[in-house]
Structure 1
Amino acid sequence: MADRTSSSITIKAGKPEIMAVIADLEAYPTWASGIREFTVQESGEDGRARRARLTFDGGPFSDTVGLTYDWDGDDAVRWELVEKGTVVSGLHGSYVLAEKAGVTEVTYELAVDVRVPMIGMVKRKGQKRIIDSALKDLKRHVES
């Protein structure tokens, strides 16, 4: 698996409110840049996605992949690639939430492998751009 890249942002909201937005995968196209479609294929007893298909525009390429999810209440969610796309051959990510004094620090970690040869530094820069954009979009959506 590729090197992981992570970044954090502070959001003026509690963990339950933020995790509710994160868990509503099918709403991502309305607020998350680059996400064209998210379809939940299977949900767990808690109503949260266990398996989903994601279609995204990632700058120079677009792809559709299948993901599985593991939820840790309102503290964290982790996802893994289970259906490779035409470009993406490996993917692992997570959101980890830590609430303090009425604000929540959200840390997003991502590792992506692609079929196209790519210099590590270029790939990490791309991952960092995806993470930073996702965190800013999440903050804007939750705080609006």
Structure 2
Amino acid sequence: MAESTQSSVVVQAAPEAVLDIIADFDGYPEWTQFKSATVVAEDADGWPEQVEFVLDAGPIKDTYTLSYDWDVVEDGTGTVSWTLVKASLLKTLDGTYTLTAEGAGTKVDYQLKVDVSLPMLGVLKRKAESIIIDTALKGLKKRAEA
């Protein structure tokens, strides 16, 4: 993913517990900047395939739908990736969580690329990505370790 922002955190919880939090879209308003997250479609295995979000992340506010790919194994390790399906303001919102077992915990790598339809300096786009990533990782860690 070119021109993306990335960060990581180690969460003191098993990968499957972290994955369960990531897959619990109804709970997103409790630990993210999303006002709501609604599963629109599921795949044959019951994983959310399309999710509609209402986002309020500082300079970026939008309602959009993401398509998800769940490339994970039974212990919760692997990748969860998404791409933008439709939005009003956003042109691109592609990202990946990579979950790796690390000791008794989980290393979560988060990579994100954001682009908006309005003219915006690259540095502001990267700042928006950083805000989204930092908020998500801190919220995920806090929720998983509670």
> What aligned pairs does 1:18-97 form with structure 2 within 5 A after superposition?
18-32=18-32, 34-73=33-72, 74=76, 75-83=78-86, 85-97=87-99
Confirm or deny: 8 A CA contact 1:2 1:112 kept in the other structure: no
Corresponding residue to 1:108 among 107, 110, 113: 110
How many residues end up aligned between the 2 structures?
142
Separation of aligned partners in 2, 1:40 and 1:79: 13
Root-mean-square deviation over aligned CA pairs:
1.4
Amino acid at match of 2:95: G
Separation of aligned partners in 2, 1:28 and 1:10: 19
Separation of aligned partners in 1, 2:79 and 2:17: 13
Q: 1:45: Cα distance to partner?
A: 2.6
- How high is the TM-score relative to the length of structure 1? 0.93
Confirm or deny: 8 A CA contact 2:31 2:136 kept in the other structure: no
Confirm or deny: 8 A CA contact 2:91 2:117 kept in the other structure: yes
The superposition leaves residues 8-51 of structure 1 with CA deviations (integer Å, 9 ceiling, x where unpaired) of 0000011100000001112101222x100111011123221001
SS in 1 for 2:83: strand
1:12 is aligned to 2:12: yes
Q: 1:2: Cα distance to partner?
A: 6.8
- Extract unaligned runs of 5+ from structure 1: none
Separation of aligned partners in 2, 1:28 and 1:78: 16
Separation of aligned partners in 2, 1:125 and 1:42: 31
SS in 1 for 2:134: helix
Q: 1:124: Cα distance to partner?
A: 0.7
Identity %: 39
Amino acid at match of 2:40: Q
